[in-house]
Structure 1
């Protein structure tokens, strides 16, 4: 066993569940004496002391729910958080937000910050729970805390963490877009934006390829360009695309910010959207409905999404039965950024 022993190591050697070790450490519920004796022996063997943040989070109730997200300036996160807060207040709970500013190190500070405020539950949105290969240290940090405090992961995943995963069906959303563009007559479709180390990019790209394959449409690898999630990333990915000899007639952007960047760069190159190039975003943020042209996008239904997250975490806090995962529908919102391709 390595230098840093975790609650998962203790559970594995004692041949019990992580929740059993957690109950023994916190005294939160009775445990069979023989089981307790076996676990105590392993704890003493390694002189195990739980992570301070995890230990603090298990002590008392506060009617506060901690939320850690990577970037509050991203409209997806701020819109969803606003809906979550509205529903939490209606249930007499408060949300305590920590904005990690796209820093995994700051996420760890956020966990300690929320521990000091004795939150009753934790909601992770983005950040390390979206890493394709999360750091084992970060993974164990969340695993130890989730063993003690009700936890939800939004649109992400992390192996070994005791959390409910609440997600929107990105596979269905992407499939709706591909079906729509195909129905307009597009067969040359590109997918721009995202980062290869983030699961949302992998999931949406895989969904795109599956939808294209289902319709027997070719996937051009050169039209799958990743360079981030921002407006600037959208500008850059279109510039990269325009260097190619063969171009798509339609583009699906990883999110609406990237789509807005593509719109900006297209104007610079005098490319008419949608006459010369159809464009679809993802997330249906407010800006999608006020851009020129108004952007076709895929909606998460933020009100229902936020309500489901809050109702699920409160149910877990109160000891209710909750599923291990919840998958919510998405809906294509058709506006003005797509039309049938020009004859070429």
Structure 2
């Protein structure tokens, strides 16, 4: 049966299938009001199973008549996502397309809800900018909401690893970049490391932490559990993680934060506790967001071509399809050594962190 031959499912069909009122189904699919999470999940699942597309949206998608590109990221205030989104918008402007941008704040349910809304808005393509989740239930829900959209002619492309989605992908080499960074730090003489990580259910965190720890292990070294501190994937999370690392003591000679924004928070925590970077502890991040070059000291990191990643995912989403096979474009990172890292401190210079007054 072709898409055109499928019976057109109505909002009433979705409501009946989900076991909710017509008003509740409408609120969920149109995003006009807050709905209980369990009811929202039932409605979205029913819409996916029935391949429900509001009004005549399928025909609009198939004919590529829409000028709207939906971009869903974790947090547009994060410079990583802002840089990627800038590349998307530049490429969209070149094609006379309009971008609708939404932040999920790393809420998997909100991500699925926004996809349903973009379907209702007849978006020509949906771009997912950011890590996937190591969560089977989330993967099934994503499949349920994306598959009918794709069958109707909508295009999906992603940045970063999404294990279950067989779509066009721009794939930053997170694991490989973290391995290269660890080897660079080992070459500087470091043997005592700590890692500040984000939530482990994020694939980006899993890949970067896995690559770094694999390189450390390959060098015959250990990364004990008390040297790994998990916190929010934010500046404040980095501050909290570094503060916890200081509390545990003694400090390692080198700290790797799995994202630059966490490293920025860690640098502030070290400063506030009287720990000198890099004299007392070296610090490295990942991404090379613009601000890290202007820190004191500038941050060692793994540089990703963030703007280019945005441009390429946009180009993949609007490319002419010659086959049904998805394309994966790998984006390597480059280790950039700056003043935040140096050789390990001398053994007789173990720091004793003490809070210091902030300067302004």
What TM-score comes out, normalization by structure 2 length? 0.76
Are the counterparts in 1 of residues 197 and 209 from structure 2 also a CA contact under 8 Å?
no
Equivalent positions of 1:71-110 (< 5 A) are 71-110=75-114
Partner of 2:232: helix, strand, or coil?
A: coil
Q: What is the CA distance between 1:134 and its match in structure 2? A: 4.1
In structure 2, the CA distance between the partners of 1:208 and 1:99, relative to structure 1 (3 Å rule), is same
Partner of 2:100: helix, strand, or coil?
A: strand
1:157 paired residue among 126, 139, 162: 162
2:189 paired residue among 173, 176, 185: 185
* Dislocated runs of 4+, deviation >4 Å: 20-24
Are the counterparts in 2 of residues 235 and 262 from structure 1 also a CA contact under 8 Å?
yes
Matched, 1:247 2:251: yes
Are the counterparts in 1 of residues 85 and 307 from structure 2 also a CA contact under 8 Å?
no
Q: What is the CA distance between 1:271 and its match in structure 2? A: 0.5
- Stretches of structure 2 that go unaligned for 5 or more consecutive residues are 9-48, 348-360
Q: What is the CA distance between 1:210 and its match in structure 2? A: 1.3
Match in the other structure for 1:59: 60
Matched, 1:332 2:313: no
Match in the other structure for 1:306: 310
1:270-290 Cα offsets, whole Å, 9 max, x none, are: 110011100001111122111
CA distance in 2, matches of 1:134, 1:75: 29
Aligned length: 301
Are the counterparts in 1 of residues 76 and 82 from structure 2 also a CA contact under 8 Å?
yes
In structure 2, the CA distance between the partners of 1:270 and 1:53, relative to structure 1 (3 Å rule), is farther
Match in the other structure for 2:227: 223
In structure 2, the CA distance between the partners of 1:319 and 1:195, relative to structure 1 (3 Å rule), is same
Q: What is the CA distance between 1:79 and its match in structure 2? A: 1.0
CA distance in 1, matches of 2:120, 2:150: 16
Q: What is the CA distance between 1:215 and its match in structure 2? A: 2.3
Q: What is the CA distance between 1:195 and its match in structure 2? A: 0.5
In structure 2, the CA distance between the partners of 1:80 and 1:310, relative to structure 1 (3 Å rule), is same
Match in the other structure for 2:35: none
In structure 2, the CA distance between the partners of 1:22 and 1:331, relative to structure 1 (3 Å rule), is farther
Match in the other structure for 1:49: 50
CA distance in 2, matches of 1:263, 1:201: 20
Q: What is the CA distance between 1:24 and its match in structure 2? A: 4.8
CA distance in 2, matches of 1:110, 1:210: 36
1:184-213 Cα offsets, whole Å, 9 max, x none, are: 100111110200222221111111121112
1:343 paired residue among 331, 341, 346: 346
In structure 2, the CA distance between the partners of 1:145 and 1:196, relative to structure 1 (3 Å rule), is same
Match in the other structure for 1:44: none
Are the counterparts in 2 of residues 175 and 208 from structure 1 also a CA contact under 8 Å?
yes
Partner of 2:161: helix, strand, or coil?
A: coil
Q: Could you tell which deviates more after superposition, 71-80 or 212-221?
A: 212-221
In structure 2, the CA distance between the partners of 1:23 and 1:280, relative to structure 1 (3 Å rule), is farther
Q: What is the CA distance between 1:93 and its match in structure 2? A: 2.7
In structure 2, the CA distance between the partners of 1:232 and 1:140, relative to structure 1 (3 Å rule), is same
1:64-105 Cα offsets, whole Å, 9 max, x none, are: 221111211111111110111112212333322222344334
Matched, 1:25 2:6: yes
In structure 2, the CA distance between the partners of 1:293 and 1:26, relative to structure 1 (3 Å rule), is farther
CA distance in 2, matches of 1:103, 1:167: 21
Are the counterparts in 2 of residues 156 and 167 from structure 1 also a CA contact under 8 Å?
yes
Partner of 1:25: helix, strand, or coil?
A: coil
Q: What is the CA distance between 1:296 and its match in structure 2? A: 1.2
